[in-house]
Amino acid sequence: MGYTMVHELGHLLIGAGRLPSGVMRAALSRKELDALNCRHLKFSKAERHAILRKPQMRVNSGPSVH
């Protein structure tokens, strides 16, 4: 369940789409399930950068005016 939550939070922070490896992949193979059980499955480097950029983009854009 934790993996699913992290995956879905990734969609909120990164956006739609899937990658061939890491937490945002569409399906898990036996190898990834084993990594998940050992807590070795992580966001890829590109995913981490996208996640870290998101809050910074909000700060730089300033308050929204309606």
Q: How far apart are CA 64 and CA 44, in angstroms?
A: 31
- Residue 34 in tokens: 């084993």
pLDDT at 58 over 80: no
Q: How confident is the model at residue 54 (pLDDT cuts 50, 70, 90)?
A: confident
Which residue's structure tokens are 């990834």? 32
Write out pLDDT tens, residues 2-39. 778 888 888 888 877 766 667 777 777 888 778 777 77
Please give the model's pTM, rounded to 2 decimal places: 0.56
Q: How confident is the model at residue 64 (pLDDT cuts 50, 70, 90)?
A: low
**Contact call for residues 27 and 60 (beta carbons, < 8 A):** no
Which helix H or strand E contains 19, and what residues bound it?
none
Q: How confident is the model at residue 56 (pLDDT cuts 50, 70, 90)?
A: low
**Contact call for residues 30 and 36 (beta carbons, < 8 A):** no
